[in-house]
Chain A
């Protein structure tokens, strides 16, 4: 039973990525722009998946690394085994949310930002910066962030005050409803 439930198996099933193919050469970590800032580097992430231990799986889903990953795809573009680490990272983030294991630090910044972004699309069909920033500030409680940048952007016409929404908003709402159900 445990065998089926391991993260490694879920990853294989959902993304098609077979983590056991990783032979730990470390080329991903060597090229990763944020490896130095991560709690677990990309090759360590792959190793943690390989060991198939409940505790390790949990530790991984709680890590900040999975949220720091920029999806820049440098790792896979140079991976000798062509292992799609970005795809694995996407899956890990979604699993982390699903199991409520979000990393504490990321939960204050990166995660609320993504959520605010999706909220914006849900409501308007497009991203709308002022709304996004406001929403994010409320979620992250970082009211003062970028307080000097915003007026500058405004003055340069880079922050439209009114959202330019999709006309067929119903369609967008439907999409969100359906995909959340899927």
Chain B
């Protein structure tokens, strides 16, 4: 026979001012099965919790209903108190009479009645509760970091320095990401490569870090603490152990006119190549789609010249399987292909370039050794027009958001240009200057006041080429929309930062949710910014939204802290709110018909097949089996099950039914 205790909290004035807590407690005492009922000013306080503990002992309670705030707030508190008094914590439930009642209604009889009704339903539920044990899962203390840009590098180093193993997976032949392409960084103008390269080298040398470049995530299964990840190591066509990185192959390769991805098409590379001199690892790969041997079957020049015989044409992609306890996603962003801006003539006019291309022009290691020369004829441009918001904040082109970094890098570009071409004039067409950040606004002001960047508030309508000049047609909205025409020598588009092309498929492989722009979604926009909705998978950097370097690094360290926190446990405790197939041994009996519908609809791939065998080992039946480590307790399978063979622990059909009946049978 159930012996239920009911505890009504006033929450100071929060509930007490609106709900007559005393009468709710008095009424609750009359409910069948309730052996003790009391109200108190602050139930969550120490004396409040003691009341519960004492009552459990004194009245030999089998169930507790705390009628107070939202269970999201204090369920752990009260369940812990119950456990301390020797009552299974899952026999304690909360009736939310604050958010669901006192905060949303006026003081009055009806409000008190509603509070009582909420208590009543929970009493009926608790009568049907039974003891549950938390699920324990072991933790594999290896982290996988996907993406080797600055965020991935930072996260890897932080986790590795925390004493844990890290596997860093990078798609390109080298780590470094976009940051390695940048010239100087705002707002301090320090050299991007100078600050990044040491970190890259550290990655390569760290005893806790295994680096897989030219590799991609193939598939993932498992759950927090126990992920199984398959990684495709694309064939580099070289034996990395033999290769010394001498670079002779690259100089001898006859296919020399492939636009370099690293140089953003402003320079060429060979088919066997190292993307840039500071690459980590500094060993080449063969780009098979452009390699003469792979395309025509003849060449092998690199093999002939390789002093160590490291070329391996026959090498094949290799799939390796690794186990990890946590995954950090740091896949970064891409620059929107400016081809979607026909009015700005990107792709049509050689001297219309993207911001990233300008970075290469301004970089000391770039195709012009840091001299600002326009691509068409190598001349030093006398007038350069920078167009901000090229694609960002443009719903008509499908991007409503602000790319956040462009205001700052455009100011930096104008500044760098002026520093390198003293007699030149930079013009910046902008809508708003968004320079929120430490020393950011000072930086943009400096571009205007000290470096003479001419800022014009207005968007450019179109531009065209005439007599080797680019005629840019804009308007000055601060002069009432007066049309402005500038004959520029070069135009730089601050193109929008967008999610990576395959981010959607990656998100699906990892069961991570993403927004309408295919940026990965955080678990909570404010309080869980580096977590995803899948436990054990974290976010770092611009794969979540456009971010600058400091923000990416901060997020990466945040994600690393989460991983290290997770790895501080040898095993994880999970709430036992999971689905269960009814089964009574022995002999195994289940109403499950093995229709497999639940397997198909489970969003977490938590359901598998289980064969039921007789004594002779013959299969007599196949039924569903739920992996409690994977199950998130969403209840989808319960709703779909045709034979009603699945129940959600803690929220069984019987419990919910009891609650509903309590409401109906007023």
Chain A complexes with chain B: yes
Contact of A29 with B395 at beta-carbon distance under 8 Å, contacts A40-B480, A78-B343 already known: no
What residues of chain A lie closer than 8 Å to B477, measured between beta carbons?
A: 24-26, 29, 43
What residues of chain A lie closer than 8 Å to B484, measured between beta carbons?
A: 30
- With most chain B CB atoms within 10 A of its CB, the pick from A23, A44, A80, A81 is A80
**B403 CB → nearest A CB, Å:** 14
* Chain A binder among B182-190, B453-461, B533-541: B453-461
Interface residues on A, range: 20 to 34
Query: Bound state CA distance, A26 and B394, in angstroms?
Result: 13
B481 adjacent to A42 (CB under 8 Å): yes
- The residue in chain A whose Cβ has the minimal distance to the Cβ of B392 is A80
Query: Bound state CA distance, A23 and B458, in angstroms?
Result: 11
Within 8 A of B (CB), among A30-48: 30-32, 35-36, 40-44
B394 adjacent to A35 (CB under 8 Å): no
Query: Bound state CA distance, A48 and B473, in angstroms?
Result: 23
For A80, give its contact among B459, B476, B483 (CB under 8 Å).
B459
A26 adjacent to B395 (CB under 8 Å): no
A36 adjacent to B483 (CB under 8 Å): yes
A36 adjacent to B395 (CB under 8 Å): no
For B481, give its contact among A23, A26, A81, A82 (CB under 8 Å).
A26
- With most chain A CB atoms within 10 A of its CB, the pick from B459, B474, B484 is B459
A27 adjacent to B481 (CB under 8 Å): no
Contact of A80 with B481 at beta-carbon distance under 8 Å, contacts A27-B461, A41-B475 already known: no
Query: Bound state CA distance, A75 and B481, in angstroms?
Result: 13
- The residue in chain B whose Cβ has the minimal distance to the Cβ of A45 is B481
A79 an interface residue at 8 Å Cβ cutoff?
yes
**A155 CB → nearest B CB, Å:** 38
A35 adjacent to B395 (CB under 8 Å): no
What residues of chain B lie closer than 8 Å to A25, measured between beta carbons?
A: 389, 431, 458-459, 477
B397 an interface residue at 8 Å Cβ cutoff?
yes
What residues of chain A lie closer than 8 Å to B480, measured between beta carbons?
A: 40-41, 44
A43 adjacent to B395 (CB under 8 Å): no
B73 an interface residue at 8 Å Cβ cutoff?
no
Query: Bound state CA distance, A43 and B474, in angstroms?
Result: 12
Contact of A30 with B460 at beta-carbon distance under 8 Å, contacts A24-B477, A41-B482, A80-B397 already known: yes
Contact of A43 with B462 at beta-carbon distance under 8 Å, contacts A79-B396, A81-B395 already known: no
What residues of chain B lie closer than 8 Å to A31, measured between beta carbons?
A: 461-462, 473
Q: Scan B467-493; emit 1 where CB is below 8 A from any A CB, else 0.
A: 000000111110011111000000000
Query: Bound state CA distance, A23 and B431, in angstroms?
Result: 9
B460 adjacent to A43 (CB under 8 Å): no
Query: Bound state CA distance, A36 and B485, in angstroms?
Result: 11
- The residue in chain A whose Cβ has the minimal distance to the Cβ of B389 is A25
Query: Bound state CA distance, A41 and B395, in angstroms?
Result: 23
Query: Bound state CA distance, A52 and B457, in angstroms?
Result: 23
What residues of chain B lie closer than 8 Å to A42, measured between beta carbons?
A: 481
Query: Bound state CA distance, A27 and B482, in angstroms?
Result: 11
A29 adjacent to B396 (CB under 8 Å): no
Query: Bound state CA distance, A32 and B431, in angstroms?
Result: 18
Contact of A26 with B458 at beta-carbon distance under 8 Å, contacts A41-B480, A42-B481 already known: yes
What residues of chain A lie closer than 8 Å to B395, measured between beta carbons?
A: 80-82
Query: Bound state CA distance, A44 and B476, in angstroms?
Result: 11
B113 an interface residue at 8 Å Cβ cutoff?
no
B393 an interface residue at 8 Å Cβ cutoff?
yes
Query: Bound state CA distance, A40 and B480, in angstroms?
Result: 7
Query: Bound state CA distance, A127 and B165, in angstroms?
Result: 83
Within 8 A of B (CB), among A9-66: 23-32, 35-36, 40-44
What residues of chain B lie closer than 8 Å to A79, measured between beta carbons?
A: 396
Q: Scan B416-432; emit 1 where CB is below 8 A from any A CB, else 0.
A: 00000000000000010
Within 8 A of A (CB), among B381-416: 389, 393-397
Sample of 10 further A-B pairs with CB below 8 A, known A41-B480, A78-B461 = A26-B458, A26-B475, A27-B460, A27-B461, A30-B458, A30-B473, A31-B461, A35-B482, A80-B393, A82-B396
Residues of chain B touching chain A, judged by Cβ–Cβ distance below 8 Å, are: 343, 389, 393-397, 431, 457-462, 473-477, 480-484
Residues of chain A touching chain B, judged by Cβ–Cβ distance below 8 Å, are: 23-32, 35-36, 40-44, 74, 78-82
User: What are 26 A-B contacts with C-beta separation under 8 Å?
Assistant: A23-B393, A24-B477, A25-B459, A26-B481, A27-B461, A28-B461, A29-B458, A29-B482, A30-B458, A30-B473, A30-B483, A32-B483, A35-B481, A36-B482, A36-B483, A40-B481, A41-B475, A41-B482, A42-B481, A74-B461, A78-B343, A78-B462, A80-B394, A81-B395, A81-B396, A82-B396
